[in-house]
Amino acid sequence: MHRFVIVGGGAGGLALATQLGKRLGKKGLAHITLVDAARTHIWKPLLHQLAAGSYDTHAEEIEYLAQAHTNHFQFRLGNLTGMDRDKKEIHLSASHDESGREITPAQTLGYDTLVIAVGSQTNDFGTPGAAAHSIKLDTPQAARLLNQRLINACIRAQTVPSPRLTVAIVGGGATGVELAAELHAAASVLASYGFDHIDPVKDLKIVLIEAAPRLLAQLPERLSESALRELRKLAIEVHTSEKVVEVTDDSLRMASGKVIPSTITVWAAGVKAADFLTTLGQGEALETTRINQLLVNGNLRTTRDASVYAFGDCAACQQSDGTWVPPRAQAAFQQAMYLARALPLLVKGQTVAPFKYRDQGSLVSLSEYSSVGSLMGSLSKGSFFVEGQLAKLMYWGLHKQHQLALGGFTKTALITLSEMIDRTHRPRIKLH
């Protein structure tokens, strides 16, 4: 029986394992294994809500073991540490609990087809002090750490006569902009949960710093300006054309010489793939880019090993028109659906048309206040802009599309109903 091993349980990897399990695993046509270092899955575009405390992970967090049981694939806990491409084996690290006690030993797992979908991580570009003094918002663990530090800082400020908290966010892309708006909304709610000594506008200052001339460079300028107007209405301080050259425990220094005080610093600028991808395998390593992405062909197969595929943020795929597939959630989802159809044919030696990315536009949520975005039509129609409640509804729809791919219609409907009920009795933000 053919052995598919998927490393990485993000939006793309989990969707692929689920779809292959339904199509092949259920019928006994293949053995599918998903590998991840965590036990649960959280949709990455919601990390800014988790960081602000406005997202209830218990309602939607997906247990890998339960998802595997329901959808006819297996789950293995562990980090990918290496591989032997000649023997077609990957090596997984041991896992440990909070006290350091071993949960699972180091493992070796065989494969016939390996799919790498480990996503990306924040790139601090080697900025002095960034690694030691900032939180990189690219994992649920980092988001929870940010939430704990925010709540702790607010509790600490309750004992200070004139509290002044500053959250500095480096990076004016979607993550930075969404986090800034979400933190402002959370601060407004905090005052109603006993933090009455803190004025969310006067005492909690949110600063957004972007090296480029404008925010949301991936969106049309009109929407960038619209987002900037919304942020300024919320008294969020925005600095553009400012490059951070040093991060300290309590400040950021700009190339211009400007210094911005900071109680909590979040680094949300730049992405790269994991460093270990550049050294995978014995002998000749798999081909990678300068930001560690694995180079793949149109079928998402790596250039130096026909048994290894990669997709999502960790892969570099060039389209027929010379453009590269962008590192975005919608691209990873499209690639997962492509591989779910293509892999059963490719492993049999059949020819499959190359992957074609279809840009469906971009949506950026400004918490409860607004949303902005551009939606792509056909080439003849171009794109059109959406803002406000319509954009918020469409952003919500993207999350529901992800849930549908993983759980089907009935489960998604029940989750949605549960969300509606929870809003009537749960605190609007997480306070612990």
**What pLDDT, on a 0 to 100 scale, did the predictor assign at position 223?**
78
| Residue 357 resides in a domain | no
| Residue 352 resides in a domain | no
Distances (CA, A) of 385 to 10, 222, 372, 382: 29, 9, 8, 10
Write 295-301 long-range contacts (CB < 8 A, 24+).
Answer: 297/354, 298/354, 298/355, 299/342, 299/346, 299/352, 299/354, 299/355, 300/335, 300/338, 300/339, 300/342, 300/355, 301/346
**What pLDDT, on a 0 to 100 scale, did the predictor assign at position 397?**
63
Same domain, 143 and 261: yes
What is the phi-psi region of residue 223: left when phi exceeds 0, alpha when psi lies from -120 to 50, beta otherwise?
Answer: alpha
Q: How far apart are CA 248 and CA 230, in angstroms?
A: 29
**What pLDDT, on a 0 to 100 scale, did the predictor assign at position 315?**
97
Among 246, 270, 294, which residue terminates a domain?
Answer: 270
Asked whether 299 and 342 are in contact (CB, 8 A), the reply is yes
Distances (CA, A) of 349 to 306, 307, 310, 344, 345: 11, 12, 18, 9, 7
| Residue 83 resides in a domain | yes
pLDDT digits (tens, 9 = 90+) for 276-308: 999 887 667 899 999 999 999 999 999 999 999
**What pLDDT, on a 0 to 100 scale, did the predictor assign at position 431?**
34
Please report, for the domain that includes residue 240, its CATH number. Answer: 3.50.50.100
Please report, for the domain that includes residue 299, its CATH number. Answer: 3.50.50.60
| Residue 427 resides in a domain | no
- Name residue, tokens 């957004």: 208
Domain count, the chain: 3
Q: What percent of the chain has pLDDT over 90?
A: 53
Q: Extract the tokens encoding 185.
A: 């909304």
Same domain, 197 and 305: no
Helix (H, G, I), strand (E, B) or coil at 144: helix
Q: Extract the tokens encoding 122.
A: 């924040």
**What pLDDT, on a 0 to 100 scale, did the predictor assign at position 299?**
98
Same domain, 292 and 399: no
Residue 394 buriedness (CB in 10 A; 0-12 / 13-18 / 19+)? middle
Same domain, 91 and 21: yes
**What pLDDT, on a 0 to 100 scale, did the predictor assign at position 368?**
56
**What pLDDT, on a 0 to 100 scale, did the predictor assign at position 395?**
55
| Residue 185 resides in a domain | yes
Asked whether 71 and 41 are in contact (CB, 8 A), the reply is no
| Residue 128 resides in a domain | yes
| Residue 355 resides in a domain | no
Same domain, 170 and 255: yes
Same domain, 207 and 145: yes
Among 270, 294, 318, which residue terminates a domain?
Answer: 270
Same domain, 33 and 12: yes
| Residue 353 resides in a domain | no
Among 283, 314, 346, which residue terminates a domain?
Answer: 346
Same domain, 7 and 70: yes
Q: How far apart are CA 393 and CA 24, in angstroms?
A: 35
CB atoms within 10 A of CB 79: 17
Same domain, 138 and 262: yes
Q: Which residue stretches of the chain have pLDDT < 70? A: 55-60, 161-163, 190-202, 282-283, 361-403, 405, 412, 414-432
**What pLDDT, on a 0 to 100 scale, did the predictor assign at position 330?**
84
**What pLDDT, on a 0 to 100 scale, did the predictor assign at position 377?**
38
Same domain, 229 and 290: no
pLDDT digits (tens, 9 = 90+) for 168-202: 999 998 889 888 888 887 777 766 655 556 665 56
Q: In this structure, which amino acid lies at residue 44?
A: K
Same domain, 134 and 249: yes
Domain around 146: 123-270
Same domain, 148 and 241: yes
pTM: 0.83
